[in-house]
Amino acid sequence: MNDRSKTGGSAGAVPGAGQLANFLPYQLSITSNAVSSLIAQRYRVRFGLKITEWRVMAVLGDAGALTQRALARSTLMDKVAVNRACRVLEDRGLVHRQPNAQDGRSHLLELTEEGRAVHSEIMPMALDIEETIFEVLDEEERGTFRELMARVFTKVESMAEPSG
């Protein structure tokens, strides 16, 4: 038995069988999807927002006006998904476009007053969900978890091929 099979965690904790269940990228992916799905379900019920839409709103609420390209980079979402989410949010009056003075070929997207109001309701809800999910970890474990996730993310970024 190798070390990986000894450290697979509790049975049934992560769906899958055999080697895949112990493959960390798989565990990260399905855990992320499960968390995103939970949050999306709550946002869909309360605000009528899909995952891509609330991600765009969250980033715009934190960062302010951004181009769609910057949104795609910030969310690590596909450009087409970002474009579709932005159009839906625009149609709902939650986001508006304005000319980009620094680059006439693009526009800046920004939350409208209504979008900021929704964002101000989303964030406390998100923090409540986070608190509930991570109540299985104490404060020290949460800090360690954040640090480890940041280190893995930095490593993955350093390995990525430059996009052109």
pTM of the predicted model as reported, rounded to 2 decimal places:
0.75
Q: What domains lie within the chain, and their CATH numbers?
A: 24-158 (1.10.10.10)
Question: Burial letters for 12-47: b for 16+ Cβ neighbours within 10 Å, e otherwise?
Answer: eebeeeeeebbeeeebeeeeeeeeeeebbebbeeeb
As averages over each run of 10 residues, the pLDDT of the chain (164 residues) reads: 43 64 90 89 90 92 94 92 96 95 88 96 89 96 96 92 68
